[in-house]
Amino acid sequence: MPRSRVSTGGHIASAFLMADAGELNYHSELAFTPLMHGAGRDIKTVDAAVAENLTETVRAELECHVCYCLMVDPLTTSCGHTFCRKCVARVLDHSTLCPACRRPLSSMRPGVSTEPSNKRISHIIDGLLAEELAARILSIQEEETIDEDGWMALFPCTLAYPGMPTFLHIFEPRYRLMVRRAVENGSRKFGMMMYNAQRLPQGNLGRSQYMQYGTALHILRIEAFPDGRSLLEARGSYRFRVLEGSMVDGYHVGRIQRIDDMPLAEEEAAEALETSGPEPAEIDFEARINHMSTNALLEYGLGFIQQARSRSADWLHERVLAAYGQPPTDAANFPFWFASVLPINDDEKYQLLPTTSVRERLKMTARWIKVLEEARCASERFMRLARPLEPELEGDEAAQSQSEEATPPATPETEAAETESANSYQADADDPQTTSDGSSPQSQAQSPHPENDRTQN
């Protein structure tokens, strides 16, 4: 049944008095009628003053006690405390306790994406602080936005290449946050960097912790675990150079410049210039690869892959090919695939990233093949020189054997050095970059710093 009441003050004060007296239900509708002619203007002035005072009073209660800013998408925990949804997710990266009362939040899953928002508090914020809320949301979006020619989150860990898959085990809180932000802002991208283990100068970055060239990864799939860890599959999108570095919430960010290959016309002109001269001598390998056409360089690499597969090379195991696919016949992508599966030093493979010429990248792969082939041949010669154990001899035969052994077979010093080089170059041949502990291929790229995530590439 409708009720009426005469009260002094504006609309806000009158509504509060009725609610305080228990005369106003939550879904009730109110209609105000001024009792004096011309009082409407005064009532608006009073309401504006009351609203301003009310906003100032309530503002402190609407702040998140984690980020100390206006709450965005408020979420109330099981113990009754309310924070920003993203702040709760960040807290759960580090702990399972409420940041206000330290009670367990065991019922909340990491990421809290399935937890309901507090609609009442959301409506209050929308009604009283709409402009500040809009500015706060815009600020968050700007912080988390990844731009191909702007700022990008960086993960210093291992090498990655365009078009090639990368498998990561994410367990550090700072990188959980980084990945979650990449997914929430819709870009699903971050930059993968190789560690600068020798602290070499990196352009404008100086002696930074990571190399200045990296690859933007696009997140394809995430498998989350109840404890907050996750397995992530990503694929390389494009290369970039870091122009400036900084830190955000514990992880690296950088202002980047995308790196693309030189125009096709320039590539063809360079090829025509190098291949137009006379045929070089057979012993001059560097001159020979410079004289080869781009297509011939590609065929040289593909031919080596066929020979390695015929010898059942460990680094071309079925699990490796299941992860990285068959060798591409595209000259631009073959070097990236080759470097992903080849068990050689990362410092060598890193040189592909800053190189903008397809032809020059193919020359790099040809040099790698030459070194590997020389190492393999040296190893085979060493095995032929190694003599098997012989049975004990008696009498004249034993004396003759000792006389023969007094003069060992001559071994050239160059061959010994070559064998040593082969052993050092193929030290990881039995433990290739890409291995598998289960159904999916994985490669452990152990971070030089124990505090950083392990990578499965």
pLDDT tens digits for range 76-111? 998 999 999 988 888 887 778 888 888 888 788 777
Residue 413 confidence (pLDDT):
38
Residue 100 confidence (pLDDT):
85
Specify the range with the lowest mean pLDDT, choosing from 101-115, 328-342, 346-360, 416-430: 416-430
User: Could you give the C-alpha distances from 245 to 72, 174, 189, 452, in angstroms and in order?
Assistant: 28, 17, 17, 18
Residue 235 confidence (pLDDT):
93
Tell me the pLDDT of the chain averaged across its residues: 79
Global pTM reads: 0.61
Higher pLDDT, 98 or 386: 98
Residue 87 confidence (pLDDT):
87
Residue 161 confidence (pLDDT):
96
Q: Indicate whether 66 pLDDT > 90.
A: no
Asked whether the beta carbons of 270 and 359 are under 8 A apart, the reply is yes
Q: How confident is the model at residue 358 (pLDDT cuts 50, 70, 90)?
A: very high
Q: Indicate whether 447 pLDDT > 80.
A: no
Residues 383-398, mean pLDDT to the nearest whole number = 54
DSSP 62: G
| Third-level CATH fold of 63-141 | Herpes Virus-1 (3.30.40)
Residue 37 confidence (pLDDT):
58
Domain residue ranges in the chain: 11-61, 63-141, 145-259, 264-384+415-426
Count of beta carbons in the 10 Å neighbourhood of residue 128: 17
Specify the range with the lowest mean pLDDT, choosing from 141-150, 269-278, 396-405: 396-405
Name the CATH code of domain 145-259 (choices 3.90.870.40, 2.30.130.40, 3.40.47.10, 3.30.70.20): 2.30.130.40
Asked whether the beta carbons of 340 and 278 are under 8 A apart, the reply is no
